Amino acid sequence: MKLAGVGLCMVLASEAFAQHAFLQQQLSYATVQMAYRNKDSLLKAEFAAKGLKWPPHYVYIRSFKYDSQLEVWVKSSPADSFQLFKTYRICALSGTMGPKRMQGDYQVPEGFYYINHFNPKSSYHLSLGLNYPNTADLLSIHHNNDPGGDIYIHGSCVSRGCIPLTDSQIEEVYLLAVYAHDAGQDFIPVHIFPIRFGNPQSEEYLSKLKDISPSAQQLWHTLREAYRYFNHTHQLPVVMTDASGQYVMAFPTKNELDLSQSSTNG
pLDDT tens-place string over residues 237-262? 999 999 999 999 999 875 555 544 44
Rounded Cα distance, 171 and 33, in Å: 10
The answer to whether position 160 is within a domain reads yes
- Which pLDDT band holds residue 186 (cuts at 50, 70, 90)? very high
Flag the least confident range among 106-120, 125-139, 247-261. 247-261
The answer to whether position 18 is within a domain reads no
Q: What is the pTM assigned to this prediction?
A: 0.88
Q: What percent of the chain has pLDDT over 70?
A: 88
Please state, rounded to an integer, the average pLDDT across all residues of the chain: 89
The answer to whether position 140 is within a domain reads yes
Check residue 161 and give its pLDDT. Answer: 80
The answer to whether position 194 is within a domain reads yes
Domain that holds residue 192: 23-265
Check residue 3 and give its pLDDT. Answer: 47
Q: Which CATH number belongs to the domain containing residue 212 in this structure?
A: 2.40.440.10
Domain total in the chain: 1
Flag the least confident range among 15-24, 87-96, 139-148. 15-24
Instruction: Compute φ and ψ for 182, nearest 5 degrees.
Output: -65, -30
The answer to whether position 225 is within a domain reads yes
Alpha carbon separation from 224 to 27, 42, 50, 104, 110 (Å, rounded): 38, 34, 28, 27, 12
Q: What is the mean pLDDT of residues 230-236?
A: 97
The answer to whether position 31 is within a domain reads yes
The answer to whether position 227 is within a domain reads yes
Q: What is the mean pLDDT of residues 41-66?
A: 98
Check residue 15 and give its pLDDT. Answer: 45
> Higher model confidence: residue 255 or residue 45?
45
